[in-house]
């Protein structure tokens, strides 16, 4: 047996092992309680071991786990109903991850134009700093050197533009353009919200040219910003939208939402997934949607986001050598740092605080959406101590 790590070492892991969780608290094997502002990268939207979600999962686990999409799946139909009722969408396809949602979004957009007799419309315009997943298609879409280097010929048909540069977009759209694909708030790119007027402008450019608008709300969707989906702030709707992360509350689940028109070409046999939309995932997803889509719940996310932001502004002011600014929306917040973000994440571990680094020198704060006011105060207190320990 070689001494090569048995788990493929594609991650630089922090030396912490969690055993269980309670709400915003992740509890390590040695009993240390960490305040979790990472939430598994915006996944545990309702915290760890949420009794409602545990109940939904256990109830389904005792009945039937998996049947495949060869048969009807009532939990899947119910979740699709909830998503359609609460969004622009007419139809939903379930996946197990954001990456798989990206793959279908790309296929659906190209099929749409093919069906309309314009098979040459294959080019998808994306933006620098974007993240859409790690499949060959998704890395080609984002196009960053870090993700594509060494992986051979990229899937053709993608072109990256400066983030939010609507002028560049205007000239980039040609009679070969299929779709524009963008995150309303970039996550991995460093919590960079696209201004509402830019999103409206992009929608208009798409409408004027018959181009589809694909929104990637894998990280910013499912209530994270205080709206069920972030594009609602701009008062526009996409043609196709990718969802994942928060939608399963920690159970692997993703989805592609689409209008009837955008999805028209996706007839029987054109796409599939063995696991996608399986009864366990959808039973949990239904419960997540029932809680998160409630206007009162979303209003609380907005209120708590504002509270946290206000406290973070104070934090930035008292550590001018560590922090530059706060940005984001709702409970999708970023601290732009003057130091390496990884150093703050490390210092956080010493304060039993979990945060996540992002590009553009940003540390992400993505707590469970049901974090309390007291826990917000405690989190900012710990960030204050972490920043202080960095000589700032
Ligand atoms: C995480 C993420 C993805 C990929 O999702 P996976 O579930 O990791 O495949 C795609 N887009 C965005 C915006 C993301 O944040």
Residue whose Cα lies nearest atom 10 of ligand 1: it is 132
Which amino acids bring their CB within 6 angstroms of ligand 1? 97-99, 102, 131-133, 183, 187-188, 216, 218-219, 244-245
Domain that holds residue 305: 295-364
Q: How high is the pLDDT of residue 255?
A: 98
Q: How high is the pLDDT of residue 209?
A: 98
Q: What strand order describes the sheet that includes 25-28? A: 18-22, 25-28, 33-36, 353-354
The total number of structural domains in the chain stands at 2
Q: Rounded CA gap, 258 and 104, in Å?
A: 11
Does residue 237 sit in the same domain as residue 253?
yes
Q: How high is the pLDDT of residue 392?
A: 63
Does residue 143 sit in the same domain as residue 245?
yes
Does residue 312 sit in the same domain as residue 343?
yes
Measure 319 CA to ligand 1 centroid, in angstroms.
32
Does residue 258 sit in the same domain as residue 355?
no
Does residue 360 sit in the same domain as residue 285?
no
The pTM assigned to this predicted structure is 0.98
Among 248, 173, 242, which residue's Cα sits nearest to residue 214? 242
- Contact 353/35 with Cβ under 8 angstroms? yes
Domain end residue (candidates: 261, 292, 323): 292
Does residue 170 sit in the same domain as residue 311?
no
Does residue 313 sit in the same domain as residue 271?
no
Residue whose Cα lies nearest atom 11 of ligand 1: it is 132
Type and span of the H or E element at 68: none
Measure 65 CA to ligand 1 centroid, in angstroms.
25
Q: How high is the pLDDT of residue 68?
A: 98
User: Which contacts of 63-66 are long-range, i.e. CB under 8 A and separated by 24 or more positions?
Assistant: 63/279, 64/279, 65/278, 65/279, 65/280, 66/275, 66/278, 66/279, 66/280
Q: Tell me the residue ranges of DSSP E strands in 13-120.
A: 18-22, 25-28, 33-36, 91-95
- Contact 99/132 with Cβ under 8 angstroms? yes
Does residue 120 sit in the same domain as residue 208?
yes
Domain presence at residue 189: yes
Measure 1 CA to ligand 1 centroid, in angstroms.
34
Q: What is the pLDDT tens value at each position of the chain, 392 positions in all?
A: 789 999 999 999 999 999 999 999 999 999 999 999 999 999 999 999 999 999 999 999 999 999 999 999 999 999 999 999 999 999 999 999 999 999 999 999 999 999 999 999 999 999 999 999 999 999 999 999 999 999 999 999 999 999 989 999 999 999 999 999 999 999 999 999 999 999 999 999 999 999 999 999 999 999 999 999 999 999 999 999 999 999 999 999 999 999 999 999 999 999 999 999 999 999 999 999 999 999 999 999 999 999 999 999 999 999 999 999 999 999 999 999 999 999 999 999 999 999 999 999 999 999 999 999 999 999 999 999 999 999 76
Please identify, by atom number, the ligand 1 atom nearest to the C-alpha of residue 220: 13
User: Which contacts of 160-163 are long-range, i.e. CB under 8 A and separated by 24 or more positions?
Assistant: 160/125, 160/126, 160/127, 160/128, 160/130, 161/125, 161/126, 161/127, 161/128, 162/127, 162/128, 163/127, 163/128, 163/129, 163/130, 163/189, 163/192, 163/194
Q: How high is the pLDDT of residue 141?
A: 98
Measure 342 CA to ligand 1 centroid, in angstroms.
21
Domain end residue (candidates: 233, 264, 292): 292
- Contact 135/99 with Cβ under 8 angstroms? yes
Longest CA pairwise span in the chain (Å): 63
Domain presence at residue 319: yes
Q: What CATH number does residue 93 fall under?
A: 3.40.640.10
Beta strand pairing status for 185-186 and 192-193? antiparallel
Chain centroid to CA 95: how far?
14
């Amino acid at each position: 047996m070689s001494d090569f790590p048995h788990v493929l070492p594609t991650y630089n892991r922090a030396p912490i092992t969690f055993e269980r969780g309670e709400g915003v608290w992740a509890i390590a094997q040695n009993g240390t309680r960490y305040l979790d502002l990472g939430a598994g990268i915006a996944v545990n939207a309702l915290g760890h071991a949420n009794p409602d979600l545990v109940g939904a999962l256990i109830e389904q686990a005792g009945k039937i786990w998996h049947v495949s999409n060869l048969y009807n799946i009532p939990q899947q139909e119910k979740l699709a109903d909830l998503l359609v009722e609460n969004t622009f969408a007419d139809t939903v396809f379930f996946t197990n991850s954001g990456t798989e949602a990206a793959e279908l979004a790309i296929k659906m957009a190209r099929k749409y134009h093919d069906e309309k007799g314009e098979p040459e419309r294959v080019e998808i315009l994306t933006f620098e700093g974007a993240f859409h997943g790690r499949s060959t298609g998704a890395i080609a879409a984002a196009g960053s050197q870090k993700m594509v280097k060494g992986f051979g010929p990229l899937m053709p048909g993608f072109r990256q533009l400066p983030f939010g540069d609507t002028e560049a977009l205007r000239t980039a759209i040609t009679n070969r353009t299929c779709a524009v694909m963008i995150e309303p708030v970039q996550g991995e790119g460093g919590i960079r919200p696209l201004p509402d007027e830019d999103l409206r402008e992009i929608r208009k450019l798409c409408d004027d040219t018959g181009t589809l608008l694909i929104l990637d709300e894998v990280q910013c969707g499912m209530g994270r910003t205080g709206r069920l989906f972030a594009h609602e702030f701009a008062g526009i709707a996409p043609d196709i939208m990718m969802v994942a992360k928060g939608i399963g509350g920690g159970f692997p689940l993703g989805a592609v939402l689409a209008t009837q028109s955008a999805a028209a070409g996706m007839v029987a046999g054109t796409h599939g997934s063995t696991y996608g939309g399986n009864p366990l995932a959808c039973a949990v997803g239904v419960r997540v949607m029932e809680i998160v889509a409630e206007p009162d719940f979303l209003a609380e996310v907005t209120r708590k986001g504002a509270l946290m932001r206000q406290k973070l502004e104070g934090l930035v002011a008292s550590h001018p050598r560590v922090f530059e600014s706060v940005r984001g929306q709702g409970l999708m917040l970023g601290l732009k740092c003057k130091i390496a973000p990884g150093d703050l994440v490390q210092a956080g571990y010493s304060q039993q605080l979990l945060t996540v680094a992002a590009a553009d020198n940003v540390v992400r704060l993505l707590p469970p959406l049901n974090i309390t006011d007291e826990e917000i105060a405690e989190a900012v207190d710990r960030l204050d101590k972490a920043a202080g320990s960095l000589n700032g």
